[in-house]
Amino acid sequence: MTRNERTYMSVSRWGWVLALGLGVAGCRTTGAAGSSDTAQVAPAKQEIEFDAVTVTADLELDKLNDEELFAGGTSAFAANDFKQAARFFGRLVDFHPKSQHRRAALYNAGLAHQRLKEWEEAWLRFSELADAKAGQGDALDAAFRVAETQYHLERYDEAVALLSTLATREDIPVNRRIEARVQQGVCELEAGRTDAAEATLRKALSAYEALSDKDEVDDYFPAQAHFFVGELYRLDYEDVKLDPAKGADKLAEDLNYKAELLLSSQGHYLRSIRVGNGYWATASGSRIGAMYEDLYAQMVSSPAPAELNAEEAVVYRQELRKKIRVLLTKSINIYERTLETAERIGSQSSFVDRTRESLAKVKALLLADAEGEPLPEPPASKDEPHT
């Protein structure tokens, strides 16, 4: 969700008291010797009571004081041993409520759990510290982290409500307000509220564009906003299906509309690239190339409209091949520029890896076309599942 990962791991917060009562019954027989009669005495009940025992979850850390726990957690976090860091910080938080290190340990425990992608535990730690309405410092940071964990837990409505509160606070820096607005839009998109998402993202971009000094805002957030507006158009693009069975005129209409949506989406991806953030520039370039590649695949797999005769179908396929060659060339150009940007700024991400793979595939397709190999045949039946 945001750039910096942060998150809590339950370390058996509470011990328990074990009180054990054992009842021992006895039976005594009395009477004269040789007598067949016996006198029965009621069983005597005896209770044995043990002292209460408190059992803690981590006996190894029980002997450490809060200073030692904080030092151990800090050392483990620096060594990227987030499991140990969460253990030490969590122990301090749960068993040393008056420690001067408790707030820092609470936040750091959240960070450690987030690195481990333990989102529920992270949410619990950050929630105790967060104050979205008036918090500053670690309370403000924790509120953003709460929203991030809610995003990963798919509690989008809760995240939207919290981020909306943060976005309207005039007492926090504009960078944080725009961050909150952008993340709110992302959560609205994930919740399927596309109209609300677009309005929120555009509001964030308007606030950014109105700034006289754009250096006040981390370039990550306007770049992310442009990327996700591009995503909205990409989703609309994917909803348009090319169906030759509807006839040539309808096919042409749908193809033109699909191309318009592609260009609109591309426009926002390019704006994201121009903002200059490495991560989102790479992601946007990857998306553009993938859309051209997708349109190519749809056009190749689409049979000629049924109303065309054999001769017209040949002409249709020839014209289609010309358009496909253009799409492949554009896709290659975008992929190459994306990789050049990634190499220049030293960006490494899943988008970069996918871009390299896609570039190799598209180059192979263009080479096959240049060598005059036939285009792939359309599917035998449009009812077959595609993978």
pLDDT, tens digit, for every residue of 99-111? 999 999 999 999 9
Q: What percentage of the chain carries pLDDT values higher than 90?
A: 48
Distance between CA 262 and CA 256 in Å, rounded? 10
Range of weakest confidence among 51-60, 198-207, 214-223, 294-303: 51-60
Task: Tell me the CB-side half-sphere exposure of residue 255, using CA atoms within 13 A.
Answer: 18
DSSP 35: -
Distance between CA 171 and CA 154 in Å, rounded? 29
Report if residue 160 sits inside a domain.
Answer: no
> What is the chain's alpha carbon radius of gyration, rounded to the nearest angstrom?
33
Q: Token match 């707030």: residue?
A: 103
Cα torsion through 276, 281, 282, 284, rounded to 10: 180
The pLDDT value recorded for residue 369 is 64
Range of weakest confidence among 69-78, 179-188, 366-375: 366-375
Identity of the amino acid at 42: A
Highest-confidence segment of 49-53, 147-151, 260-264: 147-151
Per the prediction, the chain carries an average pLDDT of 80
Distance between CA 332 and CA 355 in Å, rounded? 10
DSSP 344: H
Quick one: the chain helix, strand, coil %, rounded to 5?
65, 5, 30
Report if residue 100 sits inside a domain.
Answer: no
pLDDT in tens, 314-336: 887 777 777 777 777 887 887 78
Q: What percentage of the chain carries pLDDT values higher than 70?
A: 78
Residue, of 116 and 5, whose pLDDT is higher: 116
Report if residue 122 sits inside a domain.
Answer: no
Are the C-beta atoms of 11 and 95 separated by less than 8 Å?
no
Report if residue 354 sits inside a domain.
Answer: yes
Report if residue 48 sits inside a domain.
Answer: no
Distance between CA 128 and CA 142 in Å, rounded? 9
* Spatial CA neighbour of 156 closest among 187, 132, 195: 187
Identify the helix (H) or strand (E) that includes residue 186. helix 174-190
47: confidence class by pLDDT, cuts 50, 70, 90: low
DSSP 212: S
Report if residue 275 sits inside a domain.
Answer: yes
Residues present in the chain in total: 387
Is pTM beyond 0.85? Reply is no
- pLDDT of 374 strictly over 70: no
The two structure tokens encoding residue 343: 């190499």
Report if residue 328 sits inside a domain.
Answer: yes
Report if residue 252 sits inside a domain.
Answer: yes
Are the C-beta atoms of 30 and 38 separated by less than 8 Å?
yes
Identity of the amino acid at 47: E
SS3 call for 55: strand
Burial of 76 (0-12, 13-18, 19+ CB in 10 A): buried
Show the domain range for 356.
241-382
The pLDDT value recorded for residue 37 is 44
CA–CA distances in Å: residue 217 to residues 4, 142, 274, 312: 16, 20, 15, 57
The pLDDT value recorded for residue 27 is 35
Are the C-beta atoms of 156 and 191 separated by less than 8 Å?
yes
Count Cβ atoms below 10 Å from residue 91 Cβ, excluding itself.
Answer: 27
Q: What is the CA angle 213-167-124, rounded to 5?
A: 125
Q: What's the farthest any 2 CA atoms get from each other in the chain?
A: 126
Count Cβ atoms below 10 Å from residue 93 Cβ, excluding itself.
Answer: 29
The pLDDT value recorded for residue 57 is 55
Domain count, the chain: 1
- pLDDT of 241 strictly over 80: yes
